[in-house]
A = this chain, B = another copy of it.
Amino acid sequence: MPIINITMTHEDGGATKEQKEQLAYKMTSVFDEVFGRGGKSAVVVINEVSTDNYAIGGKTITDIRKEQKTS
């Protein structure tokens, strides 16, 4: 029973229900494909984090996106 924990930014209104369903289904299938187990028992948890609370290279994603828009 593997645990697949996905941490991602909450952007553009956040992931849709369908995207979460797809992500859960496909991530589980990939695990099962590679290891031949986990297809029925894998746990997938999706953590959507505000872009104020997520940073890369010392800059929050909020600020990075702002720069991307003005560059």
Contacts and interface: CB of A to CB of B under 8 A. Distances in A.
Given A3-B7, A45-B7, A55 B28 contact: yes
A8 B2 CA distance: 5
A17 interface: yes
Interface in A13-37: 15, 17, 19-31, 33-35
Nearest to A63: B21
Q: Range of interface residues on chain A?
A: 35 or more
18 contacts: A3-B8, A3-B43, A4-B4, A17-B52, A17-B60, A20-B52, A23-B31, A23-B34, A26-B30, A26-B34, A28-B55, A28-B57, A41-B56, A43-B43, A43-B55, A44-B55, A45-B54, A47-B53
